[in-house]
């Protein structure tokens, strides 16, 4: 079995669950069609989030994809708890160190850079939307991103430009760790 590359952590609202809406399982299937090894974990609360983050540290995960409803100050779990950037830093440091963390959560790109003020090496890079996005926009953009990162000649910067070309200029933002000059 290939080493895990992408861990998808999804926390949908109760209404999303009721309506059968989500991104994680579909993105997982798309990635597998592309030959990318991914794992999708659905979480509903902070305890489950911590367990999923520990998987990211233990397994050979390069990318951690967090799919949840979001806002500039954090993201929202199924149980309606808001995980602020300070909370995430406390829960995830140093579990995500050296990884690319991708958010498919509305508007988190406006505030997620705060993580690097808390720990300069929280992760290597963050990719996040700066506006409200639909499940479909996130799915199309991140399918493109993960397809492109499998190519040796691609860069995070160019891949985010392609994501923005697909769903709209300025939708996604790349934030590099201040300690990572090669991002």
- Is 23 a member of any domain? yes
pLDDT tens digits, residue range 115-143? 999 999 999 999 999 999 999 999 999 99
d(CA 3, CA 34): 15
Residue 94 structural domain:
6-176
Instruction: Specify the CATH number for the domain of residue 116.
Output: 3.40.50.1460
Q: Which pTM value belongs to this model?
A: 0.94
Residue 182 counted as domain residue: no
Helix (H) or strand (E) holding 9, with range, is strand 6-11
Tokens coding 16? 């999303």
DSSP string, 23-78: SHHHHHHHHHHTT--EEEEE--SHHHHHHHHHHHHHTT-SEEEEEEEEETTEEE-T
Q: Which residue has the tokens 């720990």?
A: 119
Q: Regarding beta strands 172-176 and 125-129, do their DSSP bridges make them parallel or antiparallel, or are they unpaired? A: antiparallel
**Is 181 part of a structural domain of the chain?**
no
pLDDT digits (tens, 9 = 90+) for 158-174: 999 999 999 999 999 99
Q: How many domains is the chain partitioned into structurally?
A: 1
Q: What is the pLDDT of residues 18-48, one digit of tens each?
A: 999 999 999 999 999 988 999 999 999 999 9
With respect to residue 1, please indicate whether it lies within any of the assigned structural domains.
Answer: no
Phi, psi dihedral angles at 74 (to 5 degrees):
160, -160
Tell me the two tokens of residue 71.
């806002």
């Amino acid at each position: 079995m290939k080493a895990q590359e992408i861990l998808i952590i999804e926390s949908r609202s109760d209404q999303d669950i009721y309506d059968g809406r989500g991104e994680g399982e579909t993105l997982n299937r798309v990635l597998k069609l592309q030959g990318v090894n991914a794992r999708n974990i659905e979480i509903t609360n902070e305890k489950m989030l911590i367990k999923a983050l520990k998987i990211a540290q233990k397994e050979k995960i390069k990318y951690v994809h967090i799919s949840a409803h979001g806002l500039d100050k954090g993201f929202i779990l199924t149980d309606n708890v808001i995980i602020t950037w300070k909370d995430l830093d406390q829960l995830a440091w140093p579990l995500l160190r050296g990884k690319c963390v991708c958010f498919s959560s509305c508007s988190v790109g406006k505030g997620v850079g705060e993580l690097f003020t808390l720990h300069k090496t929280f992760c290597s890079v963050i990719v996040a939307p700066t506006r409200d996005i639909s499940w479909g926009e996130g799915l199309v953009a991140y399918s493109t991103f993960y397809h492109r990162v499998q190519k040796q000649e691609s860069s995070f910067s160019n891949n985010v430009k392609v994501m923005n070309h697909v769903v709209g200029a300025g939708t996604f933002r790349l934030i590099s760790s201040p300690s990572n000059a090669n991002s």
